[in-house]
Each structure stands twice: as C-alpha cells, then as structure tokens.
C-alpha cells in the first residue's frame, strides 16, 4: 500500500470538490455584484449566462484532473474494465430505482418534469447541460476518493468513494441550499453512487450514465 500516493488521489478528489465550489463564488459573490441582485432575481438570460460560464470552468477542471491523474500517476479512468455479471446488473438496477424513488418523494414527482414545468424549455435545456458537467465532477470525487482509500487500506470492495462524495457534495448541498434534509438526501444518494461505481466494475461510461440518470430524474 502506498499511503503517500493515497494523499495524491485524495487531493485530486478535493480539487474536484473545489471545482464544484467555483459556482458558489460565481453565484453568491461575483455575479450578484455584476447583475445587481441575488440569483433569485436574475433574468432568464442571466441564469443561462451563469450556467454557460459554470460549465466552461467545470469542463476545464474535469479535463485537467483527468489529464493529471493519467500523466502524473498513470491512472487512466477510461481504462477497459471487466464485464459485469448478471447479479451486478440487477443490483445496479436496484440502486437506480432506490435513488429515483428518493428523488420522487423529495420532489413530489419526477425531478425532470418538475424542473421542465418550472423553467420552461430554454432554461431547462441549459440547466441540464449544466447537470452534465456537475455529474462529471462528483463522479471524479467518487473515483479519486475510492482510489485514495484503496491505497491507504487496500480493500477494493468497500465504497469509500461514496463516503467521500457524501461528506463533500452532500455537505455542499446543506450550505448552498440551506436545507439539512436536502443535504442528507444528497449524502445518501452520493453513497449509493459510490456503490454503483463498484458494481459496474469502475467502468467510467456506465458509471457516468447511471449517475446522470439517478441525479437528474
């Protein structure tokens, strides 16, 4: 076990979390000053501009972290993995159903439908492009967090990445949304996302697709 390298991967996970924090600076410090009011008072155009800027910055962070992991540590998150067994598919399906059920109860309906009705077509499109990049970042928190704890403890079958994203991303939701329940739901969802990452044998394509479905629907 390489404990020093474990800290290297944990730093990458924390950098991904810090990347998510970029939006906090934009939404609560920089843009309110530029637009002359809080996010709740922004126009449709101002919201769209916010999402575009956030996506660009998040995209840069994702690119740099993935590149750094491969260049400096030889960790290619796109490396080919083993095929999944039937039981893994079934269990992953259960995880999807469970998280979608939690989301349905929390939102009082399907999140995607609620947001479409609330935002309208234009805002809905840009918000869901924004979700594409947000999913990428919290997926990296899971991936690098998992790798870090595996370097420290050697056990590759425990969803450490899910715990890391639950503590970071979940806590972030408590602070940004001002809701303990929203944070706890995000934390529980994050843990299940970490379980899902292991169930799909760390296949980044399957991981991303399932996480996106669980997050946005």
3-state secondary structure string, 159-180? CHHHHHHHHHHHHHHHHHHCCH
Of the chain, the percentage scoring pLDDT greater than 70 comes to 95
Alpha-helical (H) ranges within the chain are 3-25, 31-35, 44-73, 86-107, 111-153, 160-177, 180-199, 204-216
pLDDT at site 185: 84
- pLDDT tens profile 135-144: 999 999 999 9
Backbone angles phi, psi at 46, to 5 degrees: -65, -40
Mean pLDDT of 162-185: 79
Whole-angstrom distance, CA of residue 206 vs CA of residue 78: 11
Q: What is the pTM of this model?
A: 0.93
Mean pLDDT of 176-192: 80
Closest CA to 73 of 1, 19, 138, 8: 8
Question: Per-residue pLDDT for 1 more than 60?
Answer: no
Question: Per-residue pLDDT for 14 more than 70?
Answer: yes
pLDDT at site 4: 65
Nearest 5°: the CA angle 6, 11, 12 is: 100
Mean pLDDT of 31-47: 94
Quote the tokens at residue 153. 């403890």
Q: How many CA atoms lie within 13 A of 135 on its CB side?
A: 22
């Amino acid at each position: 076990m390489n404990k020093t390298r474990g800290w290297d991967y944990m730093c990458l996970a924390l950098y991904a979390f810090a990347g998510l924090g970029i939006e906090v600076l934009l939404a609560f410090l920089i843009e309110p000053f530029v637009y002359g009011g809080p996010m709740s008072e922004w126009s449709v155009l101002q919201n769209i501009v916010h999402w575009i800027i956030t996506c660009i910055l998040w995209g840069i962070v994702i690119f740099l972290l993935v590149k750094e992991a491969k260049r400096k540590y030889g960790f290619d998150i796109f490396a080919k993995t083993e095929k999944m067994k039937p039981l893994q598919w079934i269990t992953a399906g259960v995880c999807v159903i469970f998280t979608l059920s939690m989301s349905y109860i929390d939102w009082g309906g399907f999140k995607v439908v609620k947001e479409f009705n609330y935002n309208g077509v234009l805002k809905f499109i840009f918000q869901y492009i924004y979700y594409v990049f947000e999913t990428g970042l919290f997926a990296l928190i899971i991936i690098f967090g998992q790798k870090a704890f595996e370097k420290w403890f050697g056990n590759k079958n425990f969803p450490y990445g899910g715990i890391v994203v639950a503590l970071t991303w979940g806590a972030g939701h408590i602070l940004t949304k001002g809701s303990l329940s929203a944070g706890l739901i995000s934390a529980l969802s994050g843990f299940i996302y970490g379980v899902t990452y292991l169930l799909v044998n760390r296949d980044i394509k399957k991981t991303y697709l399932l996480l996106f479905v669980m997050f946005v629907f």
